[in-house]
Amino acid sequence: MADLDPALTVRGLRVAYGPIHAVRGIDLDVASGELVALVGPNGAGKTSTLAAIAGLTRAQGGTIEFGGRSVAGVAPEDIIRAGIALVPESRNIFASLSVEENLRLGITIRRDRAAAASDVEAQLDRMPILRQRLRQAAGLLSGGEQQQLAIARALVSRPKLLLLDEPSLGLAPRMVDLVFEIVAELREQGTTVLLVEQNASRAVALADRAYVLRTGRVVRSGSSADVLASGALTDDYLGADSDDPAFATEASRP
């Protein structure tokens, strides 16, 4: 970490929904080229953290810096232009549009049209099922195919930081394996990724470093090996925080 340039620096982040405190002063860093896992039980504040970084939720306190510049309070479209792309848990696929039209939405912020078209082709090569479904309405895709489309759409924007929120959620085991293969390939290519994932052990094993959240606070952080060896992924840490008021808000977010 010390030898890498910081991409994302979060200090004292607080997120609340009325009286519900979902994120309670967390610090985290993602260096350029790193894959960092953010894990924890339902209601821990993981999705709220990504939403604040992406500008979808306004933070009540703390700082968010990307590339050395503050992005706290910046409009989501400007955060995308700054180089942060979010693949949300809900995927946000436009069901009535074709796969190709969804992918083209990912390159609307780019002016290098020839390079953008090349990047679309690269993602179709990476996820060949999307090429087969190119003219098909996205709403007719399976859950795994929609997740591939959501990831591809984010990648064609050529992000400097990719935020992935629960990419394997609700997928069949074969699709879960495929999603993890894609994430592993992105890591090998040096893509900077902040990954929120329900499959905590598998996500941490794949990551360079990890943060474990519980009730809106970081309860453990360190290298992948250190977090795995610490016992921080046991049920004591990852059991659902159903008794915490943040649980109802976080668990019900789309």
Distance, CA of 244 to CA of 240 (rounded, Å): 9
Give the 3-state secondary structure of residue 185. helix
Mean pLDDT of 199-222: 95
The band of 91, judged by pLDDT with boundaries at 50, 70 and 90, is confident
pLDDT at res. 238: 62
pLDDT value of residue 5: 61
Mean pLDDT of 112-135: 95
pTM of model > 0.85: yes
Short-list 215, 170, 175, 167, CA closest to 193: 167
- 11-60 tens-digit pLDDT: 999 999 999 999 999 999 999 999 999 999 988 999 999 999 999 999 99
Query: What is residue 232's predicted lDDT score, i.e. its pLDDT?
Result: 82
Rounded to an integer, the average pLDDT of 106-127 is: 92
CA 42/CA 152 separation, integer angstroms: 26
Q: What is the pLDDT of residue 248?
A: 39
Domain annotation for the chain: domains and CATH numbers: 6-252 (3.40.50.300)
Task: Quickly state the pLDDT bin for 2 (edges 50, 70, 90).
Answer: very low
Buried b (16+ CB within 10 A) or exposed e, 108-142: eeeeeeeebeebbeebbebbebbeebeeebbeebe
- What is the average pLDDT score of the chain? 89
Percent of the chain with pLDDT over 70: 90
For the cut 80, the answer to whether the pLDDT of residue 104 exceeds it is: yes
Distance CA 171, CA 246 (A): 26
> Is the model's pLDDT at 246 over the cut of 70?
no
